[in-house]
Structure 1
Amino acid sequence: MSDARFFNDEPFLDDEGSDLLGREQYARHTVELLGRVRAQTETGVLALIGPWGSGKSTVLGKVIRLLQQQDNSQDWLIAELNPWLYSDLESLTAALFSEIRAALPKEERWSEARQRIGGFGQAISPLGKLTALAGLDSESLIQAFSDRISGDTSASTAKRRAEDALRQVGQPVLVVMDDLDRLTPDELLLVFKLVRLVGHLPNVYYLISFDEQTLLDVLQRSDLVGDSESRAREFLEKIIQVRLDLPAFRERDAAAMSIRALNALLDSHSLSMTPSEEQRFSEAYFRHLQDRLQTPRAVKRYFGQADATLGPLAGNVDLVDFLIVTFLRTNEPGVYRLLGRHRAALTGTSIDTAQRHSTQQPGERAERWRRRLREAGVADEHIEGVLNLLALLFPTVQQDLGNGSDTKAAAQRRGIGSTDYFDRYMVFGIPDDDLPEAAFDQALTQLTADAPGEEAAELLLRLRDDTHRITRRIEQRRSAGIHLPATALLKAMADSYGQLTAEPEMMGLVNSGMSLQFLARDLLTDLPPEQRAPVLAAMAATPDGAFLAVRTLHRVTNSDNSDSEEVQTVEDWSLQARDAVTEQIALHLTPTTGRPAEELTESDTDLIWMWRHTHPVSLRPWLRQHLNNGWEPLPLLGKLLHPTSHSPRLIDESVLAGLDAMFGLDDLYTRLDPLLQAETDNSPADEHHADILQALREHRPATGQTSPPDSGTTT
């Protein structure tokens, strides 16, 4: 939009844009009123009154421009005076007459008026101020002093001459002074003394502006008025002849200006809002933001801050969350700092948060947030509004207020409530350990086209080092219906499976391998059935990939989500996949031939267990062959069985069933019989081997008892 100018002091209202708040109309009214005042009195003081940020300076600027556009030689001359620049009456007086002289035309008929105005200023100003008024250099001060004491330079005489000259030329001068409410009490009294007494000249009018309540507060701190608002008002009434109260900034004005500013913001960043985003922002605005955006300046400041930081975040964060966070940063900086301190609690990733949810009622948790907001400097009247804004951002706060929330929705929209996106809102960009959305999507496009580039390489690297976040972001796109390169991703995940470095999440319950397994399951189900077996076979081309392939096949075929890791082969594609993956596992185990069981690596034993899960019928003869060719059964069991922290027993019913599927228990007991029959003092020196034998003794069935059923196993 043409008025998308956030970084000036104009609230979007200029020649390029429509007069949204009617300021142009009010400025014309002011100009008309000046003409009426001039017709009735030869001098006067008009005051434009309105709160800070309400647009007084805008109206003053429009008044000046309208007056300067008039062609009539009898129309207004403009002198602008900034009282902030002067700290005493003499300096301000010199400045006033200097500005009035500068406003007078340089034509010959104005020369006497300029001289008389200068003479009046010289008569009432100390010599030290004369250079500012009359342009004298330091060498001329002695002559000026001599002229003053030898000539007819009394103040009253000089004033009469100036008055006569101003009446004679007959053209009015308007002295404009803005923001008087920002002066100190002493400075303010100096200005009013100058306006009401010293500068009370014919055809000289004053248009001043201030926030009335602030000005009254300033006057009450002065010795002249004292601590009495009524006396302060009486004092103002003596100074000001005409009040010009700026029209109120109504709710509809605020809403219209905010909509216009929002549209300008979106246009300048080539963005748009979806219907759901419009609904969320409308809820935040009309319930909470509107009450804090009471002036045009407040609206301008808010959207200006948004414009200043949106650039690197556009497309990488949720727009509504960004706008709410910007509001908090602009209007409640203490709350914005609070967000960083309580990141884990807000994103639901802290142990303390989980404990509180189990031990505290929602009312208690909500009060905890209220206390934090007070400590962050939020005024009591704003506590509930700010708390509800936090609830719009963070599902955890919504839950603390006793309401339902959707934790997945925050991540889906790239909201600050997601641990994956939180930091973007705090650093105003994409952190070094994060991947921008455009690069992420480009990487997926490259993988789809089988044309890997820099982005794809970066994505695959982060898949190893930042597994949880990357898998969640892929899942988010999948949930949104975006087509993904499932085949390429599954192969890449298989290649990375043994190189994962990401720390576990969810209090250590979910490791990076599990995150990959869940994503692999979903991606495999997205493929047509006829493509699944070839993909799984390709995944199993490496030992690490075989582990992921087996676990993926298990999760897809176990529709009942049972804990058993048995692959349930109920469809043609799964039978083909089982056979293809088993073939790859057997190939990976080929180097074990000719090596003793004691030299099996952890990867070897993991592959044997994977084989047991996919096709135990083909595994049993393979193991028997190796046992017949030199593998010792006890060292082999020592490699296959590992003490586990989740079970105090080395061999339970589930493990026993797995051993039966792999070896056949009857055959295994027969091979181990000499060791099982041995006396305790003849137990193996290896403590782990001794524990295995003892566990097998305890489970050895009586003569004639059948082996336990194959119920699956978990290692």
Structure 2
Amino acid sequence: MTDERFFNDDPVDGTASSPDLLGRETYARHAVGVLQRVRRQSDSGVLALIGSWGSGKSSVLTMVMGLLAEETDEAWSVAELNPWLYSDLESLTLALFSEIREALPKGDRWSTARTTLAGYARAISPIGKLGSLVGPFDASGPLKGIGDRIEGDTSASATKRRVEEALREAGRPVLVVMDDLDRLMPDELLLVFKLVRLVGRLPNVHYLISYDERTLLDVLRRSDLVGGEASRAREFLEKIVQVRLDLPAFRERDAGEMVERALSAVLGAHGLGFDDAQVRRFSAVYFGHLQDRLSTPRAVKRFFAQVDASLGELVQDVDVVDFVVVTFLRTMEPGLYALLSRHRGELTGAAFMPSGGDRIARWRELVRGAGVAAEHVEAVLRILGTLFPAVGRDLESFESVASEAAHARLGVGSEDYFDRYFTSAVPDDDMSEAAFDRALAQVPVSTGVEYAEFLVRLRGDTHRVTRRIRQRIDRGDTLPCADLLVLLAVEYGSYTAPAGVLGLVSAEASVRFLAPLLLGSIPEDERAVCVGRMARTPGGTALAAITLGRVIVPEGGDVAGAAGPGLDAWARDARGEIVGACRLHLAHSATGPAVSLSDRDVELLLLWQMFMPTQVRAWVREQLDAGTWGLLDLVIRLAPEDITYPDSAGALLRRADDLVGLDSALQELTTCLDAAAPDPSATGTSNPIADERRTRVLNILRNCRNSRRNGE
């Protein structure tokens, strides 16, 4: 790690171990010069160092005290008083004089001043208060003390005169420093001002107090003395403070330099760096949205402390820019951060957005409801637009991120990586990027801890696994593509993941989308062998055939091209592997009736038809002519699973035409068609499922025959 100390909120003193990175020492020297001038012109003065919370007031005070300690010509004694520790004027007064007394040098020259200060404290404090400070004592002591006060010249006024003379003669200026007065309660604050203004006005005793002015005025307005009037609060404060020392503003340049140092420190500590695209993205979101909120040194340190503390486990598993921005929201807007988790699906596009109405207004209302201040709502919305595609689209923002880009960079806007930004590590149901890469490397040998986990994820979380593999293909990673295809084929039919993409895409469909990319990444002279390895099971044959078809037939192209003579040599060889596998896996079906054909058998028939239509039609005719299959039973099995779907009739007729010949089928089924019963849905009759399916298929065939007869 660099010398950035994110987790240390102690004041900076300008030493090598705590360097002054903002040039505050220059202002501290200015403050010391003002103190010297005030001392020459006034016996006692009150100076106020004013700045917002986190702006560096405590650091300037620390440097002022350090500079005064180095003074040789006009040496100062410094007393620090923490008013938070005292709840009443008597205790606070005793503490003040105790601190002044301790601040004075121990030599004989100052012994009189030290002694008279102790006497003044006794004179102005109740006996009980002194007793509480010194511990248990018998009853005769306090009574005797009261008598001594009455008899001798020990009144507060007399003692104060002696203190003033002693301090004046000592000639040693004392600076009493009190920090963070704005954090006191109203009554406590008035006690401090009463002490400074009245009791503590002593020769050569000066006060340097610090506070955030806006907060202090708010505290004063809550007191009975001021009564809620802002003007009275300011007038009261002006009576107390003689000299204002307004801390220089934390300029945009200062903030930018501090952020750059802090960011470099965090990245360096974790072995990271920004590429050009990340630099542009971070710069846009920082100057556009974060800069106004990181307006004090403390805010910058606090923010990057959170980044540094949280990033460790996730350093290779998130997009660092997204992580920094999400950490900003977690630090500055914790209510909103919690809201994001509850709206994961909407933000990542994994769930439907509520329809109707103004979606931007809805996002705005959600942000407000999360406790975001009114003046920050629009900026926060734009920040969300840079992270989440759904919000960016609704905002129509030029800063919005595309879904593909969010996924490619492991962004929070991707449903695959969202959860990583809301945990301290990769979730249990996820695999880290390193583990995933190791699993892919183990695929050729089918062993390894990561491979075993990968196999579980492939079956149960198919969509995410296939997207992550595709991501690596897109960025040009070297993958065992052939072995991956064989694995996908072996597992084809065993995927248990629920449908993804809003419930519209099955797990097998996700595999079918990925497989052509893998096959296209294999050298052409190795593709046919790979297809043959895939086609060792019925399910694998189906996947291999679909994959080959999508590779050799361009999207939107004529499927008939898969059966044509113009294929490349590797494609012809691969087609031969598919056809042979289809014939092999369908051989068992020739021994039983057509009603026994499985869904996979039907799929293989249709895929075989895509590559060798004449061959498969001849094979089917063999089964029909041999009496193994009945024609009507076969046509019923060719019907789509959902026979009521609008295009199911068209699909059935196309399949029958491809495998049997529609004209021939209609002719052979004349007797059945003439005897077809009316559609049960029209008559209201109730039949078993099989009978209903049979009836619907016959109705489709009859309607087709009638249309042809009528020349339609």
Q: How far 1:428 sits from its partner (Å)? A: 4.1
Equivalent-residue separation in structure 2 for 1:395 and 1:586 (angstroms): 47
1:255-334 aligned within 5 A: 255-334=256-335
Q: How far 1:487 sits from its partner (Å)? A: 1.2
Equivalent-residue separation in structure 1 for 2:21 and 2:115 (angstroms): 45
Measured against aligned partners, the alpha-carbon deviations of 1:499-556 in whole angstroms (never above 9, x if no partner) come to 1112222343321111111110111111121111111111111221111111111111
Q: Which amino acid aligns with 1:381?
A: E
Equivalent-residue separation in structure 2 for 1:395 and 1:311 (angstroms): 27
In structure 2, relative to structure 1, the CA distance for the partners of 1:480 and 1:250 (3 Å cut) is: same
Quote the RMSD (CA, aligned, Å): 3.3
Q: How far 1:51 sits from its partner (Å)? A: 1.7
1:197-596 aligned within 5 A: 197-352=198-353, 355-356=355-356, 364-403=358-397, 406-447=402-443, 450=445, 452-562=447-557, 564=559, 567-569=562-564, 570-592=567-589, 594-596=591-593
The answer to whether the 8 Å contact 2:336/2:372 transfers is yes
Match of 2:684 in 1: none
Q: How far 1:219 sits from its partner (Å)? A: 2.6
Measured against aligned partners, the alpha-carbon deviations of 1:553-582 in whole angstroms (never above 9, x if no partner) come to 111122143585873452211111111122
Unaligned runs of 5+ in 2: 678-686
Match of 1:79 in 2: 79
The answer to whether the 8 Å contact 2:174/2:206 transfers is yes
Equivalent-residue separation in structure 2 for 1:73 and 1:301 (angstroms): 40
Match of 1:709 in 2: none
Equivalent-residue separation in structure 1 for 2:21 and 2:487 (angstroms): 56
Match of 1:607 in 2: 604
Q: Which amino acid aligns with 1:308?
A: A
1:101-250 aligned within 5 A: 101-106=101-106, 110-131=110-131, 136-139=134-137, 142-143=140-141, 145-150=143-148, 152=152, 153-250=154-251
Q: How far 1:132 sits from its partner (Å)? A: 6.1
Equivalent-residue separation in structure 1 for 2:315 and 2:259 (angstroms): 19
The answer to whether the 8 Å contact 1:78/1:103 transfers is yes
1:549-698 aligned within 5 A: 549-562=544-557, 564=559, 567-569=562-564, 570-592=567-589, 594-627=591-624, 630-634=627-631, 635-645=633-643, 647=645, 652=650, 655-663=652-660, 672=668, 676=672, 687=691, 688-689=693-694, 692=697, 695-696=700-701
The answer to whether the 8 Å contact 2:173/2:204 transfers is yes
SS at match of 1:498: coil
The answer to whether the 8 Å contact 1:4/1:268 transfers is no
Measured against aligned partners, the alpha-carbon deviations of 1:572-621 in whole angstroms (never above 9, x if no partner) come to 11111111122223333344454444444443333333333333343344
The answer to whether the 8 Å contact 1:94/1:132 transfers is no
Q: Which amino acid aligns with 1:82?
A: N
The answer to whether the 8 Å contact 1:412/1:476 transfers is yes
Between 1:108-117 and 1:499-508, the stretch displaced more is 108-117
Equivalent-residue separation in structure 2 for 1:691 and 1:47 (angstroms): 92
Equivalent-residue separation in structure 2 for 1:661 and 1:401 (angstroms): 50
Q: Which amino acid aligns with 1:387?
A: L
Equivalent-residue separation in structure 1 for 2:63 and 2:368 (angstroms): 42
Q: Which amino acid aligns with 1:512?
A: A
Match of 1:58 in 2: 59
Q: TM-score scaled by structure 2?
A: 0.88
Equivalent-residue separation in structure 2 for 1:85 and 1:114 (angstroms): 23
Q: How far 1:224 sits from its partner (Å)? A: 3.4
Equivalent-residue separation in structure 2 for 1:662 and 1:229 (angstroms): 91
The answer to whether the 8 Å contact 2:13/2:62 transfers is no
Equivalent-residue separation in structure 2 for 1:335 and 1:623 (angstroms): 63
Match of 1:88 in 2: 88
SS at match of 2:244: strand
Q: Which amino acid aligns with 1:446?
A: Q
SS at match of 2:504: coil
In structure 2, relative to structure 1, the CA distance for the partners of 1:200 and 1:647 (3 Å cut) is: closer
Q: Which amino acid aligns with 2:148?
A: S
The answer to whether the 8 Å contact 1:554/1:568 transfers is no
The answer to whether the 8 Å contact 1:95/1:132 transfers is no
Matched-pair identity in %: 51
SS at match of 2:465: helix
SS at match of 1:271: coil
The answer to whether the 8 Å contact 2:485/2:518 transfers is yes
Q: How far 1:668 sits from its partner (Å)? A: 5.9
Q: How far 1:367 sits from its partner (Å)? A: 3.2
Match of 2:37 in 1: 36
The answer to whether the 8 Å contact 1:650/1:695 transfers is no
Match of 1:711 in 2: none
Q: How far 1:633 sits from its partner (Å)? A: 1.9
SS at match of 1:351: coil
In structure 2, relative to structure 1, the CA distance for the partners of 1:516 and 1:157 (3 Å cut) is: same
Q: Which amino acid aligns with 2:607?
A: M
Q: How far 1:438 sits from its partner (Å)? A: 2.0
SS at match of 1:294: coil
Equivalent-residue separation in structure 2 for 1:255 and 1:42 (angstroms): 43
Equivalent-residue separation in structure 2 for 1:181 and 1:695 (angstroms): 85
Measured against aligned partners, the alpha-carbon deviations of 1:224-266 in whole angstroms (never above 9, x if no partner) come to 3444444433433332232211111222122222222222222
Between 1:529-538 and 1:6-15, the stretch displaced more is 6-15
In structure 2, relative to structure 1, the CA distance for the partners of 1:197 and 1:145 (3 Å cut) is: farther
The answer to whether the 8 Å contact 1:81/1:95 transfers is yes
Between 1:26-35 and 1:489-498, the stretch displaced more is 26-35
Between 1:141-150 and 1:516-525, the stretch displaced more is 141-150
Q: TM-score scaled by structure 1?
A: 0.87
SS at match of 1:139: coil
In structure 2, relative to structure 1, the CA distance for the partners of 1:239 and 1:418 (3 Å cut) is: same
SS at match of 1:48: strand
In structure 2, relative to structure 1, the CA distance for the partners of 1:422 and 1:679 (3 Å cut) is: closer
In structure 2, relative to structure 1, the CA distance for the partners of 1:624 and 1:61 (3 Å cut) is: same
The answer to whether the 8 Å contact 2:80/2:177 transfers is yes
Q: How far 1:138 sits from its partner (Å)? A: 0.9
Q: How far 1:689 sits from its partner (Å)? A: 4.7
